[in-house]
Amino acid sequence: GTVSYGRSLRQRHNTQYKKSAVIKHLHYNLSPSIFSIMSLAKAIASTFGTYMIADYLSNYLQHPTQKMDYGIFNQLIGREVDQKWWGTRTEHIVGVAGCLAVADHASQALFEKVLKKPLCFAKSPAAFVAHTFFFIFTGVTAYVGIDAALNPHHKGKRLETFKEETYCTYVGTNTAWFEPYVPVVVAKVAGTAAAGTWVGSSLLPATLAYATVKGVGWTDWGDRGLNDHEMKLNKLLKE
């Protein structure tokens, strides 16, 4: 009985040891992957937030005196709500930022894989400018594709809308070549410390790029480029 009990105890100990070893092996192999995924998700979320703020701020550069249609959020600023989501500036702010954030990080990974080194404007300016054009065009095109497919206002003309919006995206994207140079200018004007901040290195370049891409691509300046509800809010009549 004693021998049998001892054998049983050893078997149980060996089984527990094997289970522990398997768990440690899985933890060792899965942890880097989980950490990488969480790190990437955090980076995309940060970029998403920056791009939403940049889009919102760019509206003040494009339409400094006009009232914008923020859909469901109009009620918070004392403006009439027409459409809650579709066709509003809020749809654009959230939708474009989401698509651009994913496209930005995917493009960085792609260029780094091809270059076999981290993507850096100072060391690879041509590649960085190419990345800028690529991710902006890809991200905005993804957004206009989703909007064309799902926005009820485009029913019956979805493909036509997608083609028109894609062309506008191409035209606008060509104006964003300057974005990587903005921190360089900030460094010369306000110093390297300012250029290294979130505002100088990320928010300001993105805000200016948003303004030119939308402004030139969609002729979205001043009283032009407004939706029907914005025309009403600003007491303007279509020609």
Q: pLDDT by residue for the chain (239 residues), tens digit each?
A: 554 544 454 555 555 545 555 555 545 555 667 778 888 899 999 999 999 999 999 999 999 999 999 999 999 999 999 999 999 999 999 999 999 999 999 999 999 999 999 999 999 999 999 999 999 999 999 999 999 999 999 999 999 999 999 999 999 999 999 999 999 999 999 999 999 999 999 999 999 999 999 999 999 999 999 999 999 999 996 55
- C-alpha 12/C-alpha 18 separation (Å) is 10
CB atoms near residue 235 (< 10 Å):
7
Two tokens, residue 34: 């989980």
Taking the alpha carbons at both ends of the chain, their separation in whole angstroms is 101
Q: Whole-prediction pTM value?
A: 0.85
Contact in structure between 180 and 205 (CB atoms under 8 Å): yes
